[in-house]
A = this chain, B = another copy of it.
Amino acid sequence: MAPDSLAAFLEQTRIQIDGALERHLPKPPACPAIVSEAMRYSVFAGGKRLRPTLTLAAADAVSHVAQVSASDVAQVSASDVAQVFRPAVGSVAAAARLAVELALPAACAVEMIHTYSLIHDDLPAMDNDTLRRGRPTLHVVYGDGIAVLAGDGLQAEAFALLAREPAGDDPALVARKLRVVRVVADAAGPNGMVGGQAIDLQSVGQAPGHSTPLDADGLRAMHARKTGAMIRASAVAGAIMAGADDRLVASVDRYAAEIGLAFQIVDDILDVEGSAEELGKTAGKDAAEAKPTYPALYGLARSKALAAECVARATEALTQAGLVDGHLGSIADWIVSRKN
């Protein structure tokens, strides 16, 4: 059962996520040692695990909405995973535990995709970052070629995992897994994350096309793709795996779109206000590179107010859907109060 405090929930889910990543990442001899090592170097580099935490928190939250958890247990009761939980079926705690267990592979998959995007973004061909989370970036240690491949491999493995786990051929489970493949692939792809990074490259003159600085609308649209799409997909994947109906999935999506934008605004603010020690990366880098940011466009005070407005709208989406139990609300608060 999910612990009451956010801190305890974050601690518990981190252990679950890291354990599942360790189990699911390819290993020798099936996987060449250098690829396995390179993927692990970046996956276990001490990230916040925001996206997989959202996946599990969304699964947990929708399981508390009684009618969903009841139909869910009925729907997946034939699957392999559900066998484990059968003795306890019927209680809210068991429904929440089942929901989180069903969503755990998707949580790992979105973190693999996030990690691959960081590896590729750090390449000399893109942002040319040599330090991330206080450690040398992957290409500095393994070379650019292996960094490209480790990223490519993490993306492929994410989809392999989504298709493979949770195991079982119950039609409802199979349908959920395929739906999550589509949601995650759309979010990660050209219309989502990849497209956002391309716009970012263009905006700083690193790619052919218009290199004029982004205005406020352009900045919001770029972030909606670059970070927003995968944050939404992360939460939505958890809701789908836990058996949420379309109305609940839409509410989780609205919530996640708001906190995704808040997260990005706060990132920009921390780049101005934070120290390199707290951030684990170079502070002030955005301004030095003339990257478009919220503080540059709106100033610090207005940027903070914009982030708070996002959180208010996110909370409203939860309240309207009755998603009041669980940790989605406190995760939204944590996103704007974080220091790194």
Which residues of A are interface residues toward B (Cβ below 8 A)? 26, 30-36, 39, 116-117, 120, 123-126, 142-149, 151-153, 155-157, 159-160, 162-164, 169, 171, 174-175, 177-179, 181-182, 185-186, 188-195, 197-199, 201-202, 206-209
CB < 8 Å neighbour of A189 from B26, B179, B185: B26
Q: Which residues on B sit within 8 Å (CB–CB) of A39?
A: 190
- Pick 24 A–B contacts, CB within 8 A, sort by A: A32-B199, A32-B202, A34-B207, A35-B194, A117-B152, A120-B148, A125-B147, A125-B148, A142-B207, A145-B206, A146-B207, A151-B152, A153-B190, A153-B195, A156-B192, A156-B193, A157-B189, A159-B159, A160-B185, A160-B186, A164-B182, A169-B175, A178-B178, A178-B181
CB < 8 Å neighbour of A156 from B34, B153, B160, B188: B188
Q: Which residues on B sit within 8 Å (CB–CB) of A197?
A: 149
Would you list the 10 A-B pairs with minimal beta carbon distance, nearest first?
A: A156-B189, A125-B144, A160-B185, A163-B182, A153-B190, A153-B194, A159-B185, A171-B171, A26-B190, A163-B181
- The smallest beta-carbon distance between A207 and chain B, in angstroms, is 5
Q: Which residues on B sit within 8 Å (CB–CB) of A189?
A: 26, 153, 156-157, 160
Interface of A is mostly: helix
- The smallest beta-carbon distance between A51 and chain B, in angstroms, is 16
CB < 8 Å neighbour of A26 from B120, B181, B191, B208: B191
- What's the Cα separation between A195 and B28 when bound, in Å? 10
- What's the Cα separation between A207 and B202 when bound, in Å? 30
Most chain B CB within a 10 A radius of its CB, from A26, A34, A35, A148: A148
Q: Which residues on B sit within 8 Å (CB–CB) of A142?
A: 207-208
Q: Which residues on B sit within 8 Å (CB–CB) of A147?
A: 125
- The smallest beta-carbon distance between A196 and chain B, in angstroms, is 8
CB < 8 Å neighbour of A171 from B36, B174, B193: B174
Query: Which B-chain residue is minimally distant from A30 (CB atoms)?
Result: B191
Is the CB–CB distance between B198 and A35 below 8 Å?
Answer: yes
Q: Which residues on B sit within 8 Å (CB–CB) of A178?
A: 163, 174, 177-178, 181
